[in-house]
Structure 1
Amino acid sequence: MTTVTSLADRLIDADPYLSAHRTALTRRLAHIQTLRERITEGSVDLLDLASGHEYFGLHRTAKGWIFREWAPNATAVYLLGDFCGWQEDSAFALTQLAADGQWAIDLPANVLHHGDLFRLRIHWNGGAGDRIPAYARRVVQDPYTLIFNAQVWAPEQPYRWRCPDFRRPDRAPLIYEVHVGMAQEEEKVGSWREFTETVLPRIITAGYNTIQLMAVQEHPYYGSFGYHVSNFFAASSRFGPPEDLMALIDAAHEAGIAVIMDLVHSHAVANTVEGLGLFDGTEYQYFHQGARGHHYAWDSRCFDYGKPEVVHFLLSNCRYWLDAFHVDGFRFDGITSMLYTHHGLERAFSGYDDYFNDTVDEDALAYLALANEVIHRLRPDAMTVAEDISGMPGLALPVAEGGVGFDYRFAMGIPDNWIRLTKDTPDENWPMGHLWYELTNRRREERTISYTESHDQALVGDKTLMFRMADAAMYDHMCIDDPDLAVDRAMALHKMIRLITLATAGSGYLNFMGNEFGHPDWIDFPREGNGWSYRYARRQWHLVDAPDLKYRLLARFDRQMIGLFARFDLLAGGDPQRLWDHDSDKVLIFMRAGWVFAFNFHPERSWPDYGFPAPAGSYRMILNTDDDRFGGHGRLTADQRHQGLKDEHSPFGSRLSLYLPSRTAFALQPQSI
């Protein structure tokens, strides 16, 4: 049996700087085992424990229905609905099952029907309130009263999966991040069905192999981007019925595309009727009591990960989405907020001491390890990604190696660096050595996913990279026959930035929908300040479809770039190796999987016969950003071949000599491949 001491030793072997924190590491690893034993009581299998959704909530039985809820502070619980005129009725009073706060009621088959609305009324000493059941699988909002209720969802014909045995291929994830509601062209909330019919084919054509779905779990406020979850087991009804989400996932699987979803376990909406706040009259049922239970920056509630019932609830939520919707994994949102009692707010995380102090929530760390164990035992092919800005060591290492078990972590510093460069530094002053450092600075033992810009950068008040670089010129000069200098610069850098971010990525790459073709404007959800308009809460696909606009040229480049990396599986070819960088020349050249990637960021100077050390052999140009098919100036010859030259001063004994046009990058394939 592997001991916590040996697991700590494995972590330290991978990162010797952790040796000063051996005691803390050992304690944390022991805490994971303690929490596992505590919630399973040493006798229940963890996968069986993570099946609370099959016990709690509303379920059909051979005789009718059974409903169960956990409300330990309740003194009485009633079902309300049309069946009782929405009034308390003793015939619909739940019975307390045990001292641990479980309540249940059996109902005849003819009392509830598919589509019926219902909720709970919970009484406690000193008060009462209406609540949506914690395990509700369907929650809908009345369009007129705006009131939320649970809904009986039991169609006569359950969804029949076309690809029930789909398994995520073992390949580097090339992720297309989407928000279904704003994925459509019309000024409205889009649906699962519309997405499947109109947007999924675009993703298939674009060559991405993974879709990341945002805002899946039910949330009362659309403008929260889906991050203020109220009902953890309900797919958002504003996008359509659950079967339409299943059909979306099925269609993606038929195309060989995996589907992961944002899983928000870092906090919950503070609402009481719609959410879990004060569910049984106490603020500590699911959350920490007092100030620690309130995330004041997000106006939300913080889970108590040391409470067995809460861990049971969240682990069951992980399993539910895998079981019921066949998702292929999760992007865990807000990991930094979970891991630290200060939520990472206004913290620099400049040293290892920041990871080992009394602000770390070791209960949260233990929960995440158990969540990864459940997910990977249930679906060994499933993919989990940690969104953590702190750089906590071991997050993306297997539990068997002393880690928390995530498959990947986001390289969140990379988009921040691109913001700083494009916002604050003229490109003629971009530092090549520092750029290389920022793009490749990661824990080699942990897999990372890189991205050029996040969805947060597209939100109101900020700008995407293309919009930041081209600014107002995007509104007037995106016609193909309009040689505008500002747009020309923005397009050239847009392609170069995306190529270098992908080519240096650790183990995967992510793009937010529309950013690949330089979608203009910011994202602004309907709100009081904009007259509840949907004008900016959509994607303008007609721009990329228009043959006379430059957007389609950027999309064409992205498609070729993604296709190249997918076809040759270049991210599996080990880390990139720097061959040459020169600040004054604005040149950065590196190798990966035997390929040579050359970048000249200089805004004015082109370099003929630019020599640099490289392995001997012949190389063929496969992709270049200056290709006129991509809106470039066509200064390079397609399929041009380059032969290595002998050079005794080169560490390889040879060098390459290339023509590097200004603001151009290209990829050279070694001809032995």
Structure 2
Amino acid sequence: MKHSIHYDLSTLTELDIYLFKQGSHTKLYEKFGSHMMTHNGKSGVHFSVWAPNAQNVSVRGDFNDYVEDTHPLKLREDDSGIWEGFIEGVEEGLTYKYHIVSKFHNIVHEKSDPFAFYSEKPSKSASRVWSLESYEWNDKAWMKERFKHNAHDAPVSVYEMHLGSWMRKVEEENRYLSYRELSVELLKYLKQMNYTHVEFMPLTEYPYFGSWGYQVVGYFSATARFGEPEDLMYLIDTLHNNGIGVIMDWVPSHFAVDMHGLINFDGTALYEHEDPRQGYHPEWGSIIFNYGRNEVKSFLISSAMFWLDKYHIDGIRVDAVASMLYLNYAREEGEWIPNEHGGNENLEAVSFLRKLNESVYSEFSDIMMIAEESTAWPMVTRPTSIGGLGFGFKWNMGWMHDSLKYMSYDPIHRQHHHHQLTFSLWYAFDEHFMLPLSHDEVVHMKGSLINKMPGDNNQKFANLRAMYAYMMAHPGKKLLFMGGDIAQFSEWNFEKSLDWHLLENPLHSKLQKMVSDLNMIYRRERALYLYDEKKIGFEWIDDGDYQHNCISFMRKSDDADETVYILCNLADETRDSYKVGVPFEGEYEEIFNSQSTYYEGWNIGNTGPITAKKEQMHGREYSLSLTLPPLGVIYLKRVIKK
């Protein structure tokens, strides 16, 4: 077949070029890259690529046996730096790369298409011609009601996972599951565990499996490791049809150094900064985007928009926001360049993040934009109109660090660290928080969650059960990384399956059952989520009983009858006849006990109703006298007689 090339058409309008150069184009994927089309009755593919410092650009691929110069693209006559052309006879699925000769030093690069929708399976690196229009979505009902599931006043319990190591077929050379297989196995698990959402670690195409997806080359390409783009769509569609939201980890903070990617794209620092003090990430050995370049802004915003648009993603967790906000992130003195005011704030990144959030929320008001931001940067989740960054949620890293540190102490020493248990409530309502126990806490010799807990085996499990119960009652949405809900002893290993065999042991299987029950209680009890970001939804009963390692508080909704009373005893001694002030008379009963035998606990707690006496305690008119199990958390509710 003849593969002639034509230059007498363009998918790009003058408005496209203007918006691209202004940093305001939010859907570049509709125009850039490779698009199948018909021209003068001939089918083929239109290619367009941004390479302003190239001397010439040509397309090499299956269709021309990867010859370098038979199909050159033409530079537009404007100053956009875009090369384009229509090649007849190119079909879907064929692979290709751009052969780019730079104006400078005759540098020659073989580049993957930055806008490719699909790529070869790594370690191969060519792009594929692909259309995403053939898949027919069946999630209209979910999309119509999605706003209810992603709202600040909704229950959000997220299962974070890495697709390549969640479950493997050991009998089939330890292979990971495909998108289609996950639509069966993962769905079954999420429903069993009562999670509301799943968060996938990055699925944008990446070369090195050991980067877990965080060293990206294909910002519009779903990784081919697990199947075709339509297979991922089917997985998301299936989850939606079963009431489960999908969040994707997305990485605008840095990109891979692999030479077929964005680095030195046209022989110059096109997507990145030329100065390594601005353009190189010393901590991760990766390349930092130039957020001050408008075309790069358009590229990144379009990438986020692409996943929301074409894949019906319900939320985007933006990775490593702190590294974007600070010019001196992971750098010593002299290794960074201050901003125009002499400060360490990356003003261009701040501007980009605000524009990103404004853009995606204006198009998809019912999604979640989630910042992984580990510092005290103000107003991360406040509107850009009042100076905020405009995110919907922020990971509460302070809560995570303090809580895990507190729980790591032997109970006899916890009284000296009581503030680490209570301090998070001083700022719990400053942002719209999500409480993360993420993959970062179970890698790089940090130990698994169960092994962060002190004591013998039974004490470790009791502590972990208490930690999860405390987390579920604390203001903020919830996130737990895979393996945590089965108390996996080993750190996460991206090259192998989770240790599912542990569930043969009742300690592990019953802890898993407890997490499932906690998720169900959380979803059922409005008081545990309705006012997550408002002070009216939380009230201390007693935050000062450090001598007994105890805290107690209320979670409240707009109905006093729905109030849940949470009592935590993080000492290894039972507290008998422990008095707690409550606002109402009547009977109260346990609705949850982390030390129940049902969860392989120690069978210590309160059976039957507990009657409130008219005896003042903790500034309240009534009080309860009850038993607090050691290393345990109980939830109470008032018995409402109708």
Q: CA deviation at 1:645?
A: 1.4
Q: How does 1:602-613 map to 2 (within 5 A)?
A: 602-603=571-572, 605-613=573-581
Match of 2:84 among 96, 104, 118: 104
Residue pair 1:624, 1:667 contacting (<8 A) in 2 also: yes
- Residue 99 of structure 2 corresponds to 121
Match of 2:25 among 36, 49, 72: 49
- Residue 278 of structure 1 corresponds to 264
Match of 1:598 among 547, 561, 567: 567
Residue pair 1:69, 1:102 contacting (<8 A) in 2 also: yes
Q: How does 1:617-628 map to 2 (within 5 A)?
A: 617=585, 618-628=587-597
Match of 2:319 among 333, 341, 344: 333
Please tell me whether residue 225 in structure 1 is matched to residue 212 in structure 2. Answer: yes
Residue pair 1:460, 1:523 contacting (<8 A) in 2 also: no
Q: CA deviation at 1:362?
A: 1.1
Secondary structure, in 3 states, of the residue corresponding to 1:367? helix
Q: CA deviation at 1:161?
A: 0.7
Q: CA deviation at 1:439?
A: 3.6
Secondary structure, in 3 states, of the residue corresponding to 2:114? coil
Q: What amino acid is the match of 1:184?
A: M
Residue pair 1:47, 1:378 contacting (<8 A) in 2 also: no
Residue pair 2:17, 2:80 contacting (<8 A) in 1 also: no
Tell me the distance in 2 between the aligned counterparts of 1:579 and 1:45. 57
Residue pair 1:579, 1:589 contacting (<8 A) in 2 also: yes
Tell me the distance in 1 between the aligned counterparts of 2:273 and 2:176. 32
Tell me the distance in 2 between the aligned counterparts of 1:357 and 1:614. 54
Tell me the distance in 2 between the aligned counterparts of 1:58 and 1:371. 25
Tell me the distance in 2 between the aligned counterparts of 1:62 and 1:633. 71
Tell me the distance in 2 between the aligned counterparts of 1:258 and 1:314. 23
- Residue 357 of structure 2 corresponds to 372
- Residue 443 of structure 2 corresponds to 459
Which structure 2 residue ranges, 5 or more long, are not aligned? Answer: 1-14, 334-338, 557-562
- Residue 480 of structure 1 corresponds to none
Q: CA deviation at 1:373?
A: 1.0
Q: Deviations over 1:126-148 (max 9, x none)?
A: 22110011111111136xxx331
Tell me the distance in 2 between the aligned counterparts of 1:62 and 1:516. 52
Residue pair 1:218, 1:230 contacting (<8 A) in 2 also: yes
Please tell me whether residue 163 in structure 1 is matched to residue 163 in structure 2. Answer: no
Please tell me whether residue 173 in structure 1 is matched to residue 156 in structure 2. Answer: yes
- Residue 402 of structure 1 corresponds to 387
Q: What amino acid is the match of 2:366?
A: D
Tell me the distance in 2 between the aligned counterparts of 1:44 and 1:346. 35
Q: What amino acid is the match of 2:266?
A: D
- Residue 538 of structure 1 corresponds to 497
Tell me the distance in 2 between the aligned counterparts of 1:631 and 1:422. 20
Residue pair 1:183, 1:195 contacting (<8 A) in 2 also: no
Pairs aligned (count): 590
Q: How does 1:112-511 map to 2 (within 5 A)?
A: 112-125=90-103, 126=105, 127-141=107-121, 146-154=123-131, 158-164=134-140, 166=143, 167-168=146-147, 169=149, 170=151, 171-186=154-169, 187-273=174-260, 275-343=261-329, 358-423=343-408, 425-431=409-415, 433-442=418-427, 444-451=429-436, 453-469=437-453, 486-506=456-476, 508-511=477-480
Match of 1:60 among 32, 36, 43: 36
Q: What amino acid is the match of 1:571?
A: Y
Please tell me whether residue 589 in structure 1 is matched to residue 567 in structure 2. Answer: no
Q: Which moved more, 1:324-333 or 1:572-581?
A: 572-581
Q: Which moved more, 1:133-142 or 1:618-627?
A: 133-142
Residue pair 1:395, 1:403 contacting (<8 A) in 2 also: yes
Q: CA deviation at 1:460?
A: 4.1
TM-score for both structures, normalised by structure 2: 0.87
Please tell me whether residue 572 in structure 1 is matched to residue 552 in structure 2. Answer: no
TM-score for both structures, normalised by structure 1: 0.83
Change (3 A) 1:439 1:357: farther
Q: Deviations over 1:567-620 (max 9, x none)?
A: 1131214443221242222211111112111111111x2121111222123322
Please tell me whether residue 634 in structure 1 is matched to residue 606 in structure 2. Answer: no
Please tell me whether residue 555 in structure 1 is matched to residue 512 in structure 2. Answer: yes
Q: Deviations over 1:640-669 (max 9, x none)?
A: 212221124642212111111222210001
Identity between Structure 1 and Structure 2 (%): 26
Change (3 A) 1:436 1:290: closer
Residue pair 1:336, 1:343 contacting (<8 A) in 2 also: yes
Q: CA deviation at 1:429?
A: 1.3
Tell me the distance in 1 between the aligned counterparts of 2:271 and 2:72. 24
Q: What amino acid is the match of 1:60?
A: M
Secondary structure, in 3 states, of the residue corresponding to 1:430? helix
Q: CA deviation at 1:218?
A: 0.8
Q: Which moved more, 1:264-273 or 1:608-617?
A: 608-617
Q: Deviations over 1:311-357 (max 9, x none)?
A: 0101111111111100012000000000011125689xxxxxx9x96
Tell me the distance in 2 between the aligned counterparts of 1:598 and 1:591. 9
Q: CA deviation at 1:62?
A: 2.7
Change (3 A) 1:398 1:263: same
- Residue 53 of structure 2 corresponds to 73
Please tell me whether residue 668 in structure 1 is matched to residue 636 in structure 2. Answer: yes
Q: CA deviation at 1:622?
A: 0.4
Q: CA deviation at 1:41?
A: 11
Residue pair 1:336, 1:389 contacting (<8 A) in 2 also: yes
Secondary structure, in 3 states, of the residue corresponding to 1:572? coil
Tell me the distance in 1 between the aligned counterparts of 2:588 and 2:114. 60
Q: Deviations over 1:189-213 (max 9, x none)?
A: 3322222211221111211111111
Q: CA deviation at 1:280?
A: 0.4
Residue pair 1:79, 1:92 contacting (<8 A) in 2 also: yes
